[in-house]
Structure 1
Amino acid sequence: MEKGGFFKIGDVAKLFHISVGTLRHYEKAGLLKPEYTDHETGYRYYSTRQFECLNTIRYLRVLDMPLEQIADFLNNRDIDKMQMMLRQQKEAVINKQKELKIIERKIEHRLKQIEDALSSELDIIKVKHIAPRRIAWIESTLSIESYLDLESSIRRLEQDQRDTVVFLGKVGVGIAKDRLLKEQYDRYDMVFLLLDKEDVYSGPIEELPEETCVTLRFCGSHMNSVVQYEKMADFISEHKYHITGFSKEITMIDYGMTDDTKKFVTEIQIPISII
């Protein structure tokens, strides 16, 4: 302390456990200007009567209140205004908690998907019952020779969405029923997005009922799928199953997680009826 009860900016920073840079930022934002600035040295000094103001700023910042709102309050101090600000911030915190809860569930889903993929029994055809699910899809005829070939279709699915498709669900491709019956596996007819329960998608959504599917997981990606479809077609024919819908082909581990193609895992699901 010096100059008749004034505190240097560094002393104030130490007293309030904040950085000098933060105090300079508050000054620039118009929240707390030094009581006195020495024009010869450029040193900034604060008085004790500014400490209450600084305490208020720190309190409101802990509540994550924007600096603009804090500055507005400091220029128009009022009990009603403080109540209104706190109520608004409480609502913002509640909404943030909801968003974080969704993110937590998304992380949990992705961890389970990775664990499921890592424990996959590869090259074994199975019959599984798949629970009801929500799907957003677009017709898109494409042949995939690189993971980049999907990008334009993914951007279409992503159009007008608040969240990116990467955050929403799992992107997959499918072959239409009529082409499966003709054993035509050289191209795909649709790109789809499997939505998690909490996903909010702005656009047409189809509710798929529970399905019985012939499934196969293999090491590789969409570029390696033709031979897998041929194996599954033989299995379906051998067991006299009937194909009832389009295939769902999803990469469970791909370039989004690793550059090691030997660790890629893709699953194909073909819905069938058993007579």
Structure 2
Amino acid sequence: MEKGGGGMDNGSLFKIGDVARMFHISAGTLRHYEKAGVLEPEYVDEKTGYRYYSTRQFECLNTIRYLRALDMPLEQIADFLRNRDVGRIQELLRQQKETVIKKQQELQIIERKIDNRLKQLQDALSSELEVIRMTEIAPRRIAWIRNQLSPQTYLDLETSIRELEQEQGDAVVFLGKVGVGIGKEHLLRKAYDRYDMVFLLLDEEDVYNGAVEELPAEICVTIRFCGSHRDAPAYYQKLEAYIAENDLCIAGFSKEITMIDDGFTSNTDQFVTEIQIPVRRKKAGGTEHN
């Protein structure tokens, strides 16, 4: 049998490609294991650089594959292989089970957020535009900051979004959830060219580290239109006229939400924005209902 460098009997060894095929992994994965210090080749030919593995390493490779199938990090696997012990593997498996349970919970949250976004997009795509409605809006949670601005596109909101995001341990998915509002006083003065606040509508499953306001159910006059914030003033005027004609009064700050914008499509014909203004019925004599 031909000998390799160092006197190793290559007949008892398997090339890296052969081992990769036997274990249904790539040669790159085996090199990655070597670099991570998890499984070094039995022998490396000094002349060619070819890597060889022995049969006694197969059991170790099986263990690595099993633990990787459980999504255990390579660092923990390397530590276990250096200190193999039944008690240690029990501890590692318990820890990994806790990690898996946490990931399952996170994936369930992600699944619900995807479902929410799909419903919102479908709702936006099926919108009846340019129609004013009286709508009861269910209770909801918002995180918000007061920040006067005059956004033309969603990009103009980025600074405020970053402020909302600063204290979060995990990334918050803002796409399609950010809105702006005009305070009641400015609505009464018909000042529709600047906004008083930026807010984030939170899904039920969202955990937000910061000031959160619980909004009660509201009766709102609403309108949806094809356009973005720059197009909104004309629609505020339409809502203001509707409020006056129907003996209503403004009861709170507006919520203006871009349901589909640049973040979802470059086709401006598909943009959908909704404006909601909370209202109350007036008492006889023109005064407000409390």
Query: Scaled by the length of structure 2, what TM-score is found?
Result: 0.91
After alignment, is 14-23 or 57-66 more displaced?
14-23
- Structure 2 residue aligned with 1:230, among 230, 237, 243? 237
Cross-structure match for 1:212: 219
CA distance in structure 2 between the partners assigned to 1:165 and 1:55 by the alignment: 39
CA distance in structure 2 between the partners assigned to 1:262 and 1:38 by the alignment: 64
Q: Does 1:63 align with 2:70?
A: yes
Q: Can you give the 5+ residue segments of structure 2 that lack an aligned partner in the other structure?
A: 2-8, 283-290
Q: Does the 8 A contact of 2:256 with 2:274 survive in 1?
A: yes
Cross-structure match for 1:172: 179
CA distance in structure 2 between the partners assigned to 1:166 and 1:7 by the alignment: 49
In the TM superposition, what whole-angstrom CA distance separates every residue of 1:8-29 from its partner, at most 9, and x where no partner exists? 2221111111111111111121
CA distance in structure 2 between the partners assigned to 1:137 and 1:48 by the alignment: 62
Cross-structure match for 1:196: 203
- Structure 2 residue aligned with 1:109, among 93, 110, 116? 116
In the TM superposition, what whole-angstrom CA distance separates every residue of 1:126-156 from its partner, at most 9, and x where no partner exists? 0000000001111111112343221111111
Q: What SS does the corresponding residue of 2:180 show, helix, strand or coil? A: strand
Q: Does the 8 A contact of 1:154 with 1:165 survive in 2?
A: no
Cross-structure match for 1:50: 57
Distance 1:165 1:108, change over 3 A: same
After TM superposition, give the deviation of residue 35 of structure 1 in Å: 1.6
- Structure 1 residue aligned with 2:40, among 33, 41, 46? 33
CA distance in structure 1 between the partners assigned to 2:128 and 2:152 by the alignment: 25
CA distance in structure 2 between the partners assigned to 1:43 and 1:261 by the alignment: 57
After TM superposition, give the deviation of residue 167 of structure 1 in Å: 4.2
- Structure 1 residue aligned with 2:146, among 139, 145, 158? 139
Matches within 5 A, 1:157-168: 157-167=164-174
Distance 1:46 1:195, change over 3 A: same
- Structure 1 residue aligned with 2:162, among 155, 160, 176? 155
Q: Does the 8 A contact of 1:169 with 1:193 survive in 2?
A: no
Q: What SS does the corresponding residue of 1:246 show, helix, strand or coil? A: coil
After TM superposition, give the deviation of residue 222 of structure 1 in Å: 0.6
Letter in 2 for 1:68: E
Q: What SS does the corresponding residue of 2:190 show, helix, strand or coil? A: coil
Q: Does the 8 A contact of 2:176 with 2:263 survive in 1?
A: no
CA distance in structure 2 between the partners assigned to 1:29 and 1:226 by the alignment: 60
CA distance in structure 1 between the partners assigned to 2:16 and 2:170 by the alignment: 43
CA distance in structure 1 between the partners assigned to 2:151 and 2:245 by the alignment: 29
Q: Does the 8 A contact of 2:150 with 2:193 survive in 1?
A: yes
Q: What SS does the corresponding residue of 1:166 show, helix, strand or coil? A: coil
Cross-structure match for 1:73: 80
Q: Does the 8 A contact of 2:176 with 2:260 survive in 1?
A: no
Cross-structure match for 1:10: 17
Matches within 5 A, 1:91-106: 91-106=98-113
After alignment, is 96-105 or 40-49 more displaced?
40-49
Q: Does the 8 A contact of 1:136 with 1:206 survive in 2?
A: yes
In the TM superposition, what whole-angstrom CA distance separates every residue of 1:93-132 from its partner, at most 9, and x where no partner exists? 0000011111101110000000000110100000000000
Q: Does the 8 A contact of 2:152 with 2:228 survive in 1?
A: no
CA distance in structure 1 between the partners assigned to 2:152 and 2:48 by the alignment: 67
Q: What SS does the corresponding residue of 2:144 show, helix, strand or coil? A: strand
Q: What SS does the corresponding residue of 2:240 show, helix, strand or coil? A: helix
After alignment, is 130-139 or 44-53 more displaced?
44-53
After TM superposition, give the deviation of residue 40 of structure 1 in Å: 3.0
After TM superposition, give the deviation of residue 43 of structure 1 in Å: 2.4
